[in-house]
Structure 1
Amino acid sequence: MGITETGQTESTGAGEPQNTSLQAVATPPRRPRKQAAAHADVPNKSKNPKPAETKTEIVLKKLRLAKGVTLEALVEATGWQPHSVRGFLSGTVKKKLGQPLVSEVGKDGVRRYRLDNKAKAV
């Protein structure tokens, strides 16, 4: 084995390190990113006439029922935590949308929320 000018030892090919100096080892070249094909399958919006219902629409639909809806039913329908549903009712339905939200406790002791068209929005 001989020593070259850079301080590297010649390798015998028997598992010896090829570069024992403190020089930086070249990094492998980066692979190019995959580009989106111009002809990729993009769903045609005209084929799907009715978009999926949003959680806001689901909540508002349930609030329009004559009986109203319980907190548990809204949690189940949306997948939200109870405090998130209450915050949505207060912040979005009452304040942002200005809907007249009524909260009542029925004879069964269960609180129900509903939209009252006769009531004035607060």
Structure 2
Amino acid sequence: MAAKAGKRTNKQAKLLDLLRHPAGATIAALSDASGWQQHSVRGFLAGVVRKRLGLELVSSFEADQRTYRVVPAKQA
């Protein structure tokens, strides 16, 4: 089997890209992008994004929906 050239993308990378966008992403958008159920997306946010990767995840509630985004780490 020949190896594919270029950056390998997986579901986690796709979700992290959405979360790094300045506007962030909703649970529904993350669920659609990954094909995961909403409770699985919430588990990904808590278990992978916050705990394993140690990224700062913030959420805001506007227009009757919660939006999540990853903010850049503060440099010391």
Under a length normalisation based on structure 2, what TM-score does the superposition of the two structures give?
0.89
- Return 5+ residue gaps in structure 2 as ranges: none
1:112 equivalenced with 2:70 (yes/no): no
- Trace 1:1-122 onto structure 2 (pairs within 5 A): 43-45=1-3, 48-50=4-6, 52-106=8-62, 108-117=63-72
* 8 Å CA contact 2:55, 2:70 repeated in 1: yes
Aligned length: 74
Counterpart Cα distance in 2 of 1:84 and 1:109: 21
Q: How far off its partner does 1:72 sit?
A: 0.4
**Larger RCO: Structure 1 or Structure 2 (Cα < 8 Å, ≥ 6 residues apart)?**
2
Counterpart Cα distance in 1 of 2:53 and 2:32: 23
RMSD: 1.4
What letter corresponds to residue 103 of structure 1 in structure 2? S
Runs of 4+ displaced beyond 2 Å: none
What letter corresponds to residue 2 of structure 2 in structure 1? N
Counterpart Cα distance in 1 of 2:52 and 2:73: 19
Under a length normalisation based on structure 1, what TM-score does the superposition of the two structures give?
0.57
Q: Which protein is richer in strand relative to its size?
A: 2
Counterpart Cα distance in 1 of 2:2 and 2:38: 37
Larger radius of gyration: 1
Counterpart Cα distance in 1 of 2:61 and 2:50: 19
- Return 5+ residue gaps in structure 1 as ranges: 1-42
